[in-house]
Structure 1
Amino acid sequence: MNSKKMLAESLEKLLMKKNLDDIPVSEIVVGTSLSRKTFYRHFRDKYDLASWYFAQFYEASFGRITTGLTWEEALLHYLDIYQEKYIVLKNAYASRDVNGLRAYDISVTKKTYEKYLTIKGADINSETMRFAIDIASCGGTDMVIKWLLSGMKMEKGKLVCLLKQTLPNDILKYID
């Protein structure tokens, strides 16, 4: 197993017990056979590691709207992973740090929408489309986080339906 995966597994185990803000890098490293120096060779800090961890399943789920999954299929797969990793993600998103997972999630969602819409032929550089992408990225991410932190009480299919219905029309017209 490579060093990044070892560090991510250690972080995941720690996130089963506590908030990301409360986990020092030294504790992440202790859970591996690696050194602190190796940690910093791969990651700037624990938030960078958390983002890398998140990216591994993001790309395999919602990120796949750019490679053939429908928007709904990709989002449902994404929410399946949220249910599977509920405690870990709840503790990661509980971070109050500006570099926390929420900021990364919004950023990667924005890039995914940009790529998807470009593939679909949209002009992603117009002021209106830039604004629509920001709304979809920030609003969608925040609603999924809210769903997670509130205990995922709403049925996934309903959440997907509501998120799609409230997408800006400039984006919705490109969603299959």
Structure 2
Amino acid sequence: MNSKQILADSLEKLLMKKNLDNIQVSEIVAGTSLSRKTFYRHFKDKYDLANWYFAQFYEVTFGCITEGLTWEDALLCYLNICQEKYCVLKNAYASRDINGLRGYDIAATKKTYEKYLMIKGADINTETMRFAIDIAARGGTDMVIEWLLNGMKMEKSKLVCLLKQTLPNDILNYID
């Protein structure tokens, strides 16, 4: 196992119990056989580590719309991981720091939409499409976070359906 994964595993254990904002780098390192120096060799801070941790499953779930997985199936895979990692993500998303997971999630979702739409032949550089991508990334991310933080009461399939139905038409026209 590499150093990044060891640090991520330590962070995951801590996030099972408390909010990301309340976790210290020294606690993350204490849960490993690694040094603080090794932590900073890989990550600039705990938020950078949390974002790397998130990216590991984001890319193999919703990120896969760029590799042929349908939008619905990719989102459902992502929601399944969210459900599986509920306690961890609840405490990570509860962060109010500007570098927290929410901002990273929006940026990753935006990049995914851009890549997907380019593959589908859309001109992502028009003002209207840039705005639509931004709305889809921000709105979709916030609705998933709200679903998670409120205890995931809505059925995942219903959430997927509602999110798709409310995508801007400029994006929806390219979704299979």
TM-score norm. by structure 1 comes to 1.00
| Letter matched to residue 82 of structure 1 | C
**Residue type of the partner of 2:45?**
D
2:136 and 2:142 map into 1 onto residues whose CA distance is 10
Runs of 4+ residues deviating >3 angstroms: none
CA displacement at 1:61 relative to structure 2? 0.1
Are 2:149 and 1:174 aligned? no
Secondary structure of the 2:175 match is coil
1:20 aligned partner: 20
Letter in 1 for 2:73: E
Distance 2:44 2:144 in 1: 27
How many residues of Structure 1 are paired with residues of Structure 2 in the alignment? 176
Question: How many angstroms does 1:53 deviate by?
Answer: 0.1
Partner of 1:125: 125
Consecutive unaligned residues of structure 1, counting only runs of 5 or more, are none
Which residue of structure 1 aligns with residue 55 of structure 2?
55
Structure 2 residue runs of 5 or longer lacking an equivalent are none
Q: Shift of the alpha carbon at 1:138?
A: 0.2
- 2:140 equivalent in structure 1: 140
- TM-score, scaled to structure 2: 1.00
Q: What amino acid does structure 2 have at the position aligned with 1:153?
A: K
Q: Residue deviations 1:91-119, cap 9 Å, x none?
A: 00000101000000000000000000000
What is the CA-CA distance between 1:5 and the residue it aligns to?
0.2
Matched with 2:96 is 96
Cα RMSD, aligned residues only = 0.2
Rounded Cα–Cα distance in structure 1 between residues aligned with 2:3 and 2:45: 15
**Hey, what's the Cα distance between the residues in 2 that align with 1:107 and 1:44?**
18
- Which residue matches 2:6? 6
- 1:58 Cα deviation after fit: 0.1
Query: What letter corresponds to residue 115 of structure 1 in structure 2?
Result: K
Matching residue's letter, 1:85 = K
Pairing 1:165–2:165 present: yes
Counterpart position of 2:83: 83
Write out aligned runs for 1:27-46 (5 A). Answer: 27-46=27-46
Separation in 1, partners of 2:36, 2:61: 31
Percent of pairs identical after alignment?
Answer: 84
1:52-96 deviation per Cα after TM superposition (whole angstroms, max 9, x unaligned): 000000001000000010000000000000000000000000001
